[in-house]
């Protein structure tokens, strides 16, 4: 799976990426690219290296070797906050909301480059800061409305149900105005109805905001019906990257999933 | 129980209150377990004292310079140890504070065990003038009154400033870091930078508390800055409540009123025994409080108990 000639419209290009933990080769020579505006699924058996790959791309782990290019910029080894500021934002497998902050505060925290977040700036505040804060609040409330969380805006995020937390996490990521979002098992621990709604939001955002999504998912029905491109990992390497219907019949993929027993 | 005695208690409470504001910022709002606050206070107080007595500066020039020196020390400590996990960071800060104290004790430039004396002439002039004005207007002639007024005025200013900061987007980022620093980083927040800023401001508050301590005791001595000061500060923090700046004032006043008020207990005990008993009682009060009101008197229960 060489990515040395990525398609011109790729937003994320990974090439020959390696990461070892002690003797364990978690990611061993991964390369693929994600097309801008696509909804790409990353699948593979447990231990295939999917979450490690997410960590490498978003700066939570440093690769031993290899390149990652996001919108043409080399980002391998950048710290997480620098990656996020470029517009490449992730969610976590275990949902992470700021429990002792209100739902609205969770949302308002997220936008990049808020003037009031700088201490130096606070020494000489401008009138525009208040307007910026008001605009952030308005946008947060509108998004919460859209995600059916508006009436929860004053509650502590720690009082939300698991599904509501997932929704909040997705809404919060959108507050950063991302170019690309990495979702680590967005439907895990969520009932099917809510899971579908979550994916509907994702598809809508892709259409209306031109956000690119790369998501890890175990539910094959969801992957095959929703994704327009599927990357399959096994034992730290990419074994297939293709359209869903072609991945489904790829013998290497069937092997990796069903084991060598069949 | 003269008025001056209780004014003295009020001054001590005020010094601690300013000191604990920094702990509240670190612990209550950033999730940083700073156990080196007494070290920062020592650096601030000694820098001020030495700039006046050795370099001949005016105390009013020495104070802001000493704040800057303490902030620099805070950044140095932070840069070297903030990447550690939070419990190791706590250990590193207490080690730092002990290094500071032993340095003062043994270094010639800091006066060793003789300490530093004679930096407060300008303050005495002002205090005398203030006292004459107070007597003139009939507000009282107690010698501790000027320092009491200035300390609590300063506390009020620091409190107002911190509340303003806390209500801003900057304060929001700090709380997010307290809750989950990885999630904050994933949203583009530079966690290390914010922790450094939090620590630097706490160090500045410790330095200011150190100035008032220096003016109150009139000479600087290393053992004034031993870790006990930080631990009593934590007792006040717990008493007053977590994640609430106003709780700091209540905690400090209550703590010192109880500790000093118990001096007047009529018990068949020696002075040393009575002194120890006071802290036994404070300990009991804290234990009972943690059972009945774990968030402290004014603390925010939700911010302490909600989990991820």
CATH number at residue A239: 3.40.50.300
Quick one: A22 and A45 in the same domain?
yes
| Distance from the B175 Cα atom to the nearest Cα atom in chain A, whole angstroms | 8
The pLDDT of residue B1 = 55
Among A56, A61, A80, pick the best mutation site for testing chain B contact (most B Cβ within 10 A).
Answer: A80
Same domain, A60 and A137: no
**Domain assignment of residue A152, yes or no:** yes
Is the domain of A134 the same as that of A154?
A: yes
Residue A113 scores a pLDDT above 90: no
Residues A185 and A59 grouped into a single domain = yes
Q: What is the mean pLDDT of residues A17-34?
A: 94
Does A220 map to a domain?
A: yes
Q: What is the ipTM of this complex?
A: 0.91
Q: For residue A58, give the DSSP letter.
A: T
Number of domains in chain A: 2
Instruction: List beta partners, residue A15.
Output: A67
* Residue A126 and residue A30 share a domain: no
Provide the domain limits for residue A89.
10-97+178-258
pTM of the predicted protein model = 0.92
Cα A156 to Cα A113: distance, rounded to the nearest angstrom: 24
| Residue pLDDT, tens place only, A54-74 | 999 999 999 999 999 999 999
What pLDDT shows up at residue A260?
57
> Is pLDDT at A13 greater than 80 in this prediction?
yes
End residue of a domain, out of A132, A159, A186: A159
Identify whether residues A73 and A198 lie together within a single domain.
Answer: yes
- Do A244 and A223 form a contact (C-beta atoms < 8 A)? yes
The stretches in chain B having pLDDT less than 70 are 1, 304-308
Nearest CA in chain A to B243: A100
Sign of CA dihedral B130, B134, B135, B141: negative
Are A64 and A188 members of one domain?
yes
> In this predicted model, what pLDDT tens digit does every residue of B103-159 receive, in sequence order?
999 988 888 888 899 999 999 999 999 999 988 887 777 889 999 999 999 999 999
Q: pLDDT at residue A3 above 70? A: no
Judge: B170–A85 Cβ closer than 8 Å, yes or no: no
Q: Is A226 helix (H, G, I), strand (E, B) or coil?
A: helix
* Separation of alpha carbons B25 and B194, rounded Å: 12
Count Cβ atoms within 10 A of the Cβ of residue A85 and give its class: 0-12 exposed, 13-18 middle, 19 or more buried.
middle
With pLDDT > 90 as the criterion, what percentage of chain A qualifies?
67
What pLDDT does residue A259 have?
Answer: 67
Q: Do B308 and A159 touch (CB under 8 A)?
A: no
A251: in domain? yes
Q: Which among A171, A163, A214, A165 has a CA at the least distance from the CA of A192? A: A163
Orientation angle between helical segments B3-23 and B37-53, nearest 10 degrees: 120
Tell me the nearest-neighbour CA distance from B80 into chain A, angstroms: 18
A92 touches chain B (CB under 8 A): yes
Token digits of residue A189: 């621990």
Q: Comparing C-alpha atoms, which of A99, A164, A153 is closest to residue B301?
A: A99
Q: Does residue A188 share a domain with residue A71?
A: yes
Query: Across the interface, do B306 and A99 touch by the CB < 8 Å criterion?
Result: yes
Pairing of strands A237-242, A73-74: unpaired
Residues of B in contact with A165 (CB under 8 A): none
Q: Which of A107, A128, A159 is the last residue of a domain?
A: A159
Interface test with B, best of A57, A109, A175 (most B CBs within 10 A): A109
CA distance B268 to chain A (A): 49
Is residue A169 situated within a structural domain?
Answer: no
Contact between B307 and A110 using a beta-carbon 8 Å cutoff: no
> Taking CB atoms and an 8 Å cutoff, what residues of chain B touch A55?
none
Instruction: Map chain B to HEC letters.
Output: CCHHHHHHHHHHHHHHHHHHHHHHHHHHHHCCCCCCHHHHHHHHHHHHHHHHHCCCCCHHHHHHHHHHHHHHHHHHHHHHHCCCCHHHHHHHHHHHHHHHHHHHHHCHHHCHHHCEECCCHHHHHHHHHHHHHHHHCCCCCCCCHHHHHHHHHHHHHHHHHHHHHHCCHHHHHHHHHHHCHHHHHHCCCCHHHHHHHHHHHHHHHHHHHHHHHHHHHCEECHHHHCCHHHHHHHHHHHHHCCCCHHHHHHHHHHHHHHHHHHHHCCCCCCHHHHHHHHHHHHHHHHHHHHHHCCCCCCCCHHHHHCCC
Contact B229, B18 (CB under 8 A): no
Show which of A159, A191, A206 is a domain's final residue.
A159
Instruction: Say yes or no: A85 contacts chain B, CB-CB below 8 A.
Output: yes
Residue A106 located in a structural domain: yes
Which of A 105-144 lie inside 8 A of B, CB atoms? Answer: 105, 108-110, 112, 114-119, 122, 133
CB atoms within 10 A of CB B68: 14
Same domain, A112 and A232: no
How many Cβ contacts (< 8 angstroms) between chains A and B? 100
- Determine the Cα–Cα distance for residues B293 and B283; give it in Å rounded to an integer: 15
A38 and A55 share a domain?
yes
With respect to residue A240, please indicate whether it lies within any of the assigned structural domains. yes
Residue A116 shares a structural domain with residue A151: yes
* Chain A nearest CA to B65, separation (Å): 19
Inspect the interface and report whether the beta carbons of A80 and B176 lie closer than 8 Å: no
Cβ proximity of A75 and A81 under 8 Å:
no
Distance, CA of B36 to CA of B20 (rounded, Å):
12
Domain assignment present for residue A91? The answer is yes
For the stretch B48-80, pLDDT in tens is 999 999 999 999 999 999 999 999 999 999 999
Best residue in B166, B186, B200, B299 for a mutation probing chain A (most A CBs within 10 Å) = B186
Buried b / exposed e along A110-140 (16+ C-beta atoms within 10 A):
bbbebbbbbbebbeeeeeebeebbeebeebb
The Cα-based distances of B66 to A182, B46, B51, B202 in angstroms read 47, 8, 8, 14
CB count within 10 Å of CB A214 equals 26
CB B239, CB B255: distance < 8 Å: yes
What is the rounded distance in angstroms from the CA atom of residue B214 to the CA atom of residue B48?
A: 9
Q: How confident is the model at residue A187 (pLDDT cuts 50, 70, 90)?
A: confident
Does residue A204 lie in a domain region?
Answer: yes
Candidate from A91, A108, A115 with C-beta closest to B172: A108
Cα gap A222→A199, rounded to integer Å: 9
What chain B residue is nearest to A116 in terms of C-alpha separation? B169
User: What local confidence, expressed as pLDDT, does residue B149 receive?
Assistant: 95
Residue boundaries of the structural domains of chain B: 3-227
> What is the reported pLDDT for B108?
85
Residue A92: name the closest of B86, B187, B195 by CA.
Answer: B187
Closest CA to A36 of A251, A185, A214: A214
Q: Which helix (H) or strand (E) holds A232?
A: strand A229-234
A125 and A93 both lie in a single domain:
no
């Amino acid at each position: 799976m060489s990515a040395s000639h990525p398609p011109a419209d790729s937003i994320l290009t990974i090439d020959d990426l390696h990461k070892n933990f002690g003797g364990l080769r978690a990611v061993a020579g991964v390369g693929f690219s994600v097309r801008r505006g696509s909804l790409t699924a990353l699948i593979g058996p447990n231990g295939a290296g999917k979450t490690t790959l997410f960590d490498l791309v978003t700066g939570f782990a440093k690769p031993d070797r290899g390149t990652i290019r996001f919108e043409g910029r080399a980002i391998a080894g950048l710290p997480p906050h620098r990656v996020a500021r470029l517009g490449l934002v992730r969610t976590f497998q275990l949902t992470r909301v700021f429990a002792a902050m209100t739902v609205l505060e969770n949302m308002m925290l997220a936008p990049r480059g808020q003037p009031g977040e700088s201490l130096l700036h606070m020494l000489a505040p401008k009138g525009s800061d208040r307007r910026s804060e008001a605009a952030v609040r308005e946008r947060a409330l509108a998004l919460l409305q859209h995600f059916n969380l508006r009436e929860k805006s004053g509650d502590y995020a720690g009082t939300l149900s698991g599904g509501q937390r997932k929704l909040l996490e997705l809404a919060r990521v959108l507050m950063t105005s991302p170019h690309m979002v990495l979702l680590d098992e967005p439907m895990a621990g969520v009932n099917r109805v809510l899971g579908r709604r979550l994916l509907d939001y994702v598809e809508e955002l892709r259409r209306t905001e031109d956000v690119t999504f790369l998501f890890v998912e175990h539910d094959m029905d969801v992957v095959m019906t929703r994704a327009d491109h599927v990357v399959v990992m096994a034992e730290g390497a990419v074994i297939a990257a293709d359209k869903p219907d072609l991945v489904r019949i790829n013998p290497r993929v069937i092997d990796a999933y069903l084991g060598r027993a069949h | 129980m003269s008025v001056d005695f209780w004014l003295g208690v009020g001054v001590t409470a005020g010094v601690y209150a300013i000191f604990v504001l920094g702990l509240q910022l670190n612990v209550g709002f950033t999730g940083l377990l700073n156990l080196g606050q007494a070290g920062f206070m020592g650096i601030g107080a000694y820098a001020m004292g030495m700039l006046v007595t050795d370099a001949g500066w005016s105390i009013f020039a020495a104070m802001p310079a000493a704040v800057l020196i303490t902030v620099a020390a805070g950044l140095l400590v932070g840069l070297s140890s903030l990447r550690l996990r939070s419990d190791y960071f706590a250990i590193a800060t207490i080690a730092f504070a002990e290094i500071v104290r032993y340095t003062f004790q043994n270094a010639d430039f800091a006066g060793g065990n003789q300490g530093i004396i004679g930096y407060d002439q300008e303050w005495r002039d002002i205090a005398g003038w203030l006292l004459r004005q107070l007597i003139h207007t009939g507000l009282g002639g107690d010698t501790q009154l000027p320092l009491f007024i200035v300390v609590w005025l300063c506390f009020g200013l620091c409190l107002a400033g911190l509340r303003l900061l806390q209500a801003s987007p900057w304060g929001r980022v700090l709380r997010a870091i307290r809750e989950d620093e990885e999630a904050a980083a994933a949203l583009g927040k530079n966690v290390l930078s914010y922790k450094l800023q939090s620590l630097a401001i706490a160090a500045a508050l410790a330095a200011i508390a150190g100035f008032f301590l220096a003016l109150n005791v009139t000479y600087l001595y290393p053992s004034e800055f031993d870790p006990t000061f930080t631990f009593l500060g934590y007792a006040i923090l717990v008493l007053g409540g977590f994640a609430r700046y106003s709780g700091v004032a209540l905690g400090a006043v209550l703590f010192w009123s109880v500790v000093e008020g118990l001096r007047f207990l009529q018990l068949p005990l020696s002075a040393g025994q009575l002194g120890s008993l006071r802290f036994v009682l404070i300990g009991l009060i804290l234990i009972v409080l943690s059972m009945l009101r774990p968030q402290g008197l004014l603390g925010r229960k939700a911010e302490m108990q909600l989990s991820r």
